[in-house]
Amino acid sequence: MNKKKVIKKWINQIVTSLLVLLLIGVAALVVSNKISGGEPTIFGYQLKTVLSGSMEPGIKTGSIIAVKTGGDMTRFKEGDVITFMEEDEKLITHRITEVLKNENQVMYKTKGDNNNTEDINPVLAQNVVAEYRGLTIPYLGYFADFASSKNGTIILMIVPGVLIFLYSIFSLWRTISKIDISNKTKDAIEETKTN
């Protein structure tokens, strides 16, 4: 087998593997989103997309952050970064500037690192959803936000599948062409032997 054929074979295997991995990865992301109600969870961490610049420069808009859910939500102290639910069912990730305690409840005053003032309303401990522990992946949130949309899901499931299908047809066509050429070569050799 010559060097070009070996290289082509490796390239074919790599392309096929990448397309299959892409399809499996996207399928896993979609299934994870659907099972967890739209928020993928990996090793006990929930992935959240950052949609505003209130925590810049530490957490950039369009980033994905990993937040740890569960535990005692009254445990946080000044300087911790928490994700909490606002009254309008909107999730916010801000830093605690002050812990307010009375005999019945714990509340947190919060502020975005990039904001000039503290948030207007203190956050009740029972409204805290998770704690941010410093893991940020910049700009991946834009892709994740698109992937979790209806159009994104359709495109990201169909495109890799179509690519694998087209690549399979191309590989099958090449194999059939090689067999035809091989058969024609054998026929030509046999014809020359008989003459």
Residue 102 and residue 21 share a domain: no
Residue 118 and residue 54 share a domain: yes
Q: What integer pLDDT is reported at residue 35 of this predicted model?
A: 60
Residue 65 and residue 95 share a domain: yes
Q: How far apart are CA 81 and CA 67, in angstroms?
A: 10
Residue 155 and residue 68 share a domain: no
Residue 122: give the domain boundaries.
39-137
Residue 122 and residue 45 share a domain: yes
In a domain, 181, yes or no: no
Residue 119 and residue 89 share a domain: yes
Active site residue 182: no
Residues 63-86: tens digit of each pLDDT: 888 888 888 888 999 999 999 988
In a domain, 176, yes or no: no
Residues 87-99, mean pLDDT to the nearest whole number: 89
**C-alpha to C-alpha distances, 141 to 8, 36, 50, 100, nearest whole angstrom:** 36, 17, 7, 33
Residue 101 exposure: Cα atoms within 13 Å on the Cβ side: 8
Residue 65 and residue 12 share a domain: no
Which of 13-27, 43-57, 111-125, 162-176 is the least confident region? 13-27
Residue 119 and residue 66 share a domain: yes
In a domain, 187, yes or no: no
pLDDT, greater one: 182 or 81: 81
Q: What integer pLDDT is reported at residue 182 of this predicted model?
A: 73
Q: What integer pLDDT is reported at residue 68 of this predicted model?
A: 86
Residues 87-100, mean pLDDT to the nearest whole number: 89
Residue 7 and residue 66 share a domain: no
Residue 55 and residue 132 share a domain: yes
Angle at 55 between CA 49 and CA 58, to 5 degrees: 90
Domain count, the chain: 2
Report CA dihedral (136, 139, 141, 145) to the nearest 10 degrees.
180
Residues 157-167: tens digit of each pLDDT: 777 778 778 87
Residue 15 and residue 60 share a domain: no
Q: How far apart are CA 169 and CA 167, in angstroms?
A: 5
Residues 35-65: tens digit of each pLDDT: 655 566 667 777 788 888 888 888 888 888 8
User: pTM for the whole thing?
Assistant: 0.59
Q: Which of 17, 32, 36, 52 is catalytic?
A: 52
pLDDT, greater one: 132 or 150: 132
